Amino acid sequence: MSNVPHRFAPIQRLLHWLMAACIFAMFFIGVGMVSTVAPTYPPLILTHKTLGVTLLVLVVIRLAVRLHYGAPPLPADLPPAMKLGARLSHLLLYGFMIVMPLLGLGMLWAAAYPVVLYGGIRIPALLPQSDRVHTLLWNAHFYLGFAFFALVLLHLAAGLFHALIRRDGVFGTIALLPSRNRTTPVE
Amino acid sequence: MNQSGRPPRSRLGSLVLIAAVVGGAAAAFAYTAGWLSPGRLTPERMIAALTPPSGAPLGHRRNHAKGICFTGVFEANGNGVELSRAKVFARGTYPALGRFNLGTADPNAVDATVRVRGLGLQIAVADGEEWRMALINPPVFAVSTPQAFHDLLIASAKKEPEAMKIFIQANPEFVAFAGWAKTAPWTTSYAEEPYHGLNSFIFTNAKGEEHAVRWSLLPTVQPGLVSQAELEKRGPDFLEQEIAERIRTAGPQRWTMVTTVADPGDPTADPSKPWPEGRRTVQVGTLIVQRIEPEQDGPCRDINFDPTVLPQGIRVSDDPFPAARSSVYRRSYDLRAAEAGDYPRTGTVKP
Ligand code: HEM
Ligand code: HEM
Ligand code: HEM
């Protein structure tokens, strides 16, 4: 098993935590901005759009990196159901990371809003105005946003479960810094 | 597994920790979403306050619900360049799209029952940039803050006569607007009205100098003034018929765009406070309305004239209204787009 990595590559670990922080911010900015009429609203929505589009770029890079480096195997003693759950949930997380920004952009295009990011960067519309498409994408962005948040919480709980209860080295595969004291990866 | 040198933490302790982290994140999320703060002024509450007892105007704007589309051009004369580097002020002609409207939540309101008239406008600047605005005819706004606007809507919907008295005691700035509403003459045409932006914005010019400004579209025809009763006799939809007829027979209609530049210390954060007389004004161009189209299939129907859609060179100021309006207009747009089936297109123009 000498070719199998024991940890995610540094770039993968960096991207994982950078994007995790940004995605958490996106959830909070999203629900915060739509529930306020305060002067913070325009800067919040500007940040939501800019960060969201940045995340779209990052996920593309992340997928390319993932295809290149692969992933370390899960512990051999992990029950098959848990392994399947882990794989499926990671797949879903990737799906959300790709789909959410696209829905956000699409919903603005379909409402004929100009999409302007920080620094006046403009994203040209790829969809014509349409009530129906706007409503569809709005609903998807709304409901999938909550589903994404729920899955991230589950993922967080699972990660902590590995780190604190199973102590099986899974957390160490993605941890930003190697921790001497913790566990060694699967052997 | 579990080759750690440290003594294993108690399973229960770890489980509690995990539950606390996940629960804490969920609670923070709920708090941010406003679910734990029913007192927060949300766009939903503002829309609820706008909704008449008879029900929401499904498929229509939640305010300024009655209106008619226009298209035309904005002709910039170049004078605005000294104030703002926005490309729209460079001498030239830019496509414009807009909507004449009445400040009511009833899309079928009788024209003579609605005091406030408005104009929504979108000017297309070069390479996809846009400038959107929504202006009204009173010279001052009714209240100082978005919260006060909400309170006004609540108070004016109440039946007790005391409600408005209490409101005015708390928001004395309302008196100026009320005076205008009571005494200002009624015109018989959208073309005869001035439309005021009221909100303050910051213009930045090529040198990086900033000025707080407000702008207005001033009519170029003499108003024909009538009493409210006289206007009522002309019919419930007179204004829409009149503007269509006027443009058909007399040709395009014009408004001069005038920006007023604040002196330091002028009240930029409060649209209910006019700036003192004699402030510098700059005529920056002319809006030319060339064509009228009914709203139902018209190009203005699906535009949100969100006043924070601004080109580079114009930005919001410390005036709290554009932000509040942007948030509420977005919600109004989401609702009416989802309800488009309640206000079906006639199907001749667009699906
Ligand atoms: C990882 C990516 C993203 C996540 C997790 C996310 C999440 C959210 C959430 C949770 C909301 C609040 C929904 C509600 O409570 O009503 C929201 C709203 C919104 N998002 Fe995103 N978003 C993402 C990307 C984007 C992008 C890229 C854009 C646009 C460029 C965008 C535009 C919007 C808009 C305009 C709203 C307000 C919708 C409305 O109510 O009209 N989002 N988003
Ligand atoms: C928005 C937040 C997050 C997202 C979208 C996310 C996404 C992902 C994805 C897609 C993977 C699979 C990597 C791959 O196989 O290519 C992964 C792995 C992992 N994540 Fe996260 N993550 C987030 C936050 C967190 C947090 C807060 C933790 C903390 C406990 C965490 C712990 C882990 C662990 C331990 C792994 C490794 C699993 C393995 O070895 O297969 N993640 N994450
Ligand atoms: C916090 C205060 C305000 C609230 C809550 C509010 C609410 C609304 C709403 C819900 C709409 C319908 C938007 C749509 O569906 O596209 C609207 C339209 C409009 N508002 Fe306001 N408004 C406020 C302040 C103002 C001010 C200060 C002005 C003028 C200076 C103004 C002028 C207009 C005009 C002209 C329209 C019609 C635009 C169009 O034709 O689409 N509003 N307003």
In a domain, B333, yes or no: yes
Q: Which residue has the higher pLDDT, B116 or A182?
A: B116
B26-81 pLDDT, tens digit per residue, is 999 999 999 999 999 999 999 999 999 999 999 999 999 999 999 999 999 999 99
pLDDT for res B2: 45
d(CA B169, CA B163): 10
Residues B143-170: what's their mean pLDDT? 96
Q: Which residue of A has its CA nearest to B320?
A: A39
pLDDT for res A1: 40
Residues B319-326: what's their mean pLDDT? 98
For residue A145, give the ligand 1 atom closest to its CA.
Answer: 10
pLDDT for res B247: 98
Q: Whole-prediction pTM value?
A: 0.95
pLDDT for res A178: 73
d(CA B48, ligand 3 centre) in Å:
14
In a domain, B127, yes or no: yes
In a domain, B3, yes or no: no
Q: Residue B194: exposed, middle, or buried by beta-carbon count in 10 A (0-12, 13-18, 19+)?
A: buried
pLDDT at A9 over 90: yes
CB–CB contact A165 B21 (8 Å): no
pLDDT for res A37: 98
**Residue labelled with tokens 């995610």:** A8
Pocket test for ligand 3, best of B50, B58, B61 (most atoms within 8 A of CB): B61
d(CA A104, ligand 1 centre) in Å:
5
For residue B195, give the 3-state DSSP assignment: strand
Q: B117: domain CATH number?
A: 2.40.180.10
pLDDT for res B337: 98
In a domain, B235, yes or no: yes
In a domain, B347, yes or no: no
CB–CB contact A36 B334 (8 Å): no
Domain tally for chain A?
A: 1
Write down the H helix ranges in chain B.
11-32, 43-50, 146-157, 162-170, 174-183, 228-233, 238-250, 321-338
d(CA B75, CA B253): 13
Domain that holds residue B124: 9-342
* Per-position DSSP letters for B39-60, written without gaps between them: TS--HHHHHHHHS-TT---TTS
For residue B310, give the 3-state DSSP assignment: coil
Q: Which residue of B has its CA nearest to A30?
A: B33
Worst-scoring range by mean pLDDT, A34-38, B95-99, B113-117, B345-349?
Answer: B345-349
Decide: A134 in ligand 2 pocket, CB within 6 A: no
Decide: A7 in ligand 2 pocket, CB within 6 A: no
pLDDT at A65 over 80: yes
d(CA B42, CA B38): 9
3-state secondary structure A38-96: CCCHHHHHHHHHHHHHHHHHHHHHHHHHHHHHCCCCCCCCCCHHHHHHHHHHHHHHHHH
Decide: B195 in ligand 3 pocket, CB within 6 A: no
What are the beta bridge partners of residue A107? none
Decide: A174 in ligand 2 pocket, CB within 6 A: yes
Residues B259-271: what's their mean pLDDT? 97
pLDDT for res B350: 46
pLDDT at B4 over 50: no
In a domain, B31, yes or no: yes
pLDDT for res B172: 98
Q: Which helix (H) or strand (E) holds B271?
A: none
Partner residue facing A153 (CB), from B1, B25, B128: B25
Domain tally for chain B?
A: 1
User: Of the bound ligands, which one is closest to the alpha carbon of residue B51?
Assistant: 3
Whole-number average pLDDT of chain A: 93
B237-251 pLDDT, tens digit per residue, is 999 999 999 999 999
In a domain, B350, yes or no: no
Residues of B in contact with A181 (CB under 8 A): 4-6
pLDDT at A183 over 60: no
Partner residue facing A37 (CB), from B4, B323, B333: B323
d(CA B276, ligand 1 centre) in Å:
42
Decide: A98 in ligand 2 pocket, CB within 6 A: no
**Residue labelled with tokens 């123009």:** B349
In a domain, B274, yes or no: yes
Decide: A90 in ligand 2 pocket, CB within 6 A: yes
In a domain, A1, yes or no: no
Residues B13-17: what's their mean pLDDT? 94
CB–CB contact A160 B18 (8 Å): yes
In a domain, A94, yes or no: yes
Confidence tier at B351 by pLDDT (50, 70, 90):
very low
In a domain, A79, yes or no: yes
Task: Please report, rounded to a whole number, the percentage of residues in chain B having pLDDT higher than 90.
Answer: 93
For residue B330, give the ligand 1 atom closest to its CA.
Answer: 41
Q: Which helix (H) or strand (E) holds A149?
A: helix A131-160
Whole-number average pLDDT of chain B: 95
Domain that holds residue A58: 10-174
d(CA B153, ligand 3 centre) in Å:
13
CB–CB contact A165 B323 (8 Å): no
pLDDT for res A184: 46
